[in-house]
Amino acid sequence: MNYLLIESHPYEGSFNAGAAKLIKDTAIQKGHTVNSINLIDDRFNPVMYANDLLLWSRGQFADPLVKKYQDEIAKADVLVFPFPIWWGTMPAVLKGFCDKVLLHGWAYEYGEQGELVGMLTDKKAIVITTMQTSSSVFETYFNNPVDGGFIKDTLQTCGIEVIKYLQIDNIVSGGRNNAEIKMKEIEGLIS
């Protein structure tokens, strides 16, 4: 199985970076191949400028990283997204990645009635989020935009089956013991 880690946390000492390393190490120990995209290290620009939008409307792109990322996704069986929740949603760099990389004609097409039809139906995904907010507040007050906007409206629309979603709350206030428990849960996500 080929795993692709898509990292978007800027701090290499973060829980998310530790989770990404654990996922990579665990997958390799289990005989899988692991590749990584680190949007921060790549200095990926998430901003959609006018020329980007013009090309986007044709399913094209100007940024050479888009092609590199599409090639990595094409080789992968499972995409793994470990990311923090900031202001109720994903980091801007990850949103820009979705906007610029998951293009019409590559990740989806339009059906007969204008509906979006996913083209990445051979891909699966694992989504791991971290936040200080409690899960109950995230679900009721924020209406969980990760589940709606990212998992359903983006990944599933592109045909990607989300096989696991681990939402880790109270990441700071939970303390070290909680973090270690969550790392064990993350390790268990890799089969």
User: Quick one: DSSP state of residue 89?
Assistant: B
> Which candidate, 172, 40, 151, 159, places its Cα nearest to that of 89?
151
Residue range 121-139: mean pLDDT, rounded: 92
What residue numbers bound the domain in which 114 lies? Answer: 2-187
DSSP string, 96-148: HHHHHHS-BTTTEEE-TTS-EEES-TT-EEEEEEE-SS-HHHHHHTS--HIII
Average pLDDT, the chain: 94
Asked whether the whole model's pTM tops 0.85, one would answer yes
Q: Which of the four pLDDT bands, split at 50, 70 and 90, describes residue 26?
A: very high
Residue 130: give its domain's CATH number: 3.40.50.360
At residue 32, the pLDDT reads 97
At residue 123, the pLDDT reads 98
**Residue 139 pLDDT more than 90?**
no
Count up the domains in the chain and report the number: 1
> Which candidate, 88, 91, 98, 95, places its Cα nearest to that of 135?
88
At residue 3, the pLDDT reads 98
Element (H, E) at 71: helix 64-75
φ and ψ of 111, to 5 deg: -80, 180
Both tokens of 3, joined, read 């795993």
To 5 degrees, how large is the angle CA 43–CA 50–CA 59?
80
**Residue 134 pLDDT more than 90?**
no
Residue range 14-25: mean pLDDT, rounded: 94
Residue range 112-138: mean pLDDT, rounded: 93
> Cβ(116)–Cβ(43) under 8 Å?
no
> Which candidate, 138, 124, 122, places its Cα nearest to that of 80?
124
pLDDT in tens, 150-176: 999 999 999 999 999 999 988 888 788
What residues contact 23, with CB distance under 8 A and at least 6 apart? 3, 5, 34, 80, 82, 186, 189, 190
pLDDT in tens, 68-122: 999 999 999 999 999 999 998 999 999 999 999 999 999 999 999 999 999 999 9
